[in-house]
Structure 1
Amino acid sequence: MSGPVFAALAARPELAAHYAAFREAAHQALDPALVAMVRQAIAAVHGCADPEAAPIDEAALDAGTQACLAYARRMPFEHTAITDAEAAAVVAALGEPGYVAFSVVAALADAECRAGLVGLPELVEQG
């Protein structure tokens, strides 16, 4: 695994291992394609998406996946405005356990983007 969070945790291998295991468990609970789309959608919100990545063709997606991506895009800056109906649409698409895993995947994608944007590994080294 790589990225700014893992780089920041380099001095604490036991913590890095726990983070990696937690992250992997959430990712494995969902379809890998959905995980990739959620991570891509959140990165786009932050302006740190891979410029080589093909845009998500939402017209080709089912309504449940579209609801998940719309919800994911709101997580970084509009999470307090997400409605019960929007959450219910994600639960309907993924089930309760899937909704929890989805929430973890989205939250960690958000945190990892933010860590990269502020240069977390460099900040940790200064501390």
Structure 2
Amino acid sequence: MRFSDRYPIIVTTKKDASQDFWTTYLGFEAAFESIWFSLLVADDNTASIAFMTPDHPSAPPGPKIFSGSGVCFELEVEDAQATHEALTRKGLVVTYTLTDEPFGQRRFGFTDPSGLWVDVVEQIAPQPGFWDKYMV
């Protein structure tokens, strides 16, 4: 199967606030924008995300308003510390502070207006032996 694109659609009553958040803090741009739907792409086209109001008749069957649980949007970067500094300078409120995790990630996180958890990670070396017990 060959895909021409792939992205999550977050159904939310906070579509405009979510779009503003992603464009202001994370540098995404609107590829398509209407009163009920926004498709946002990273400036280098490496990531996409969409936000949709719950009241449009073209909504796919099934999606309910996003509750903010059970989903993590992972953004992998080359330098998590520099990204953290740049975003906090812009005023982003980070709720999971920059941390070097023993399993091999330097990361921090925050929640967007829709309630989506965003995890910004840089891959680093894990602590020696950390993964041994999981590789059985």
Q: State the TM-score, normalizing by the size of structure 2.
A: 0.23
Larger radius of gyration: 2
Greater helix share, 1 or 2? 1
Q: State the TM-score, normalizing by the size of structure 1.
A: 0.24
Greater strand share, 1 or 2? 2
- Higher relative contact order (Cα pairs below 8 Å, separated by 6+ residues): 1
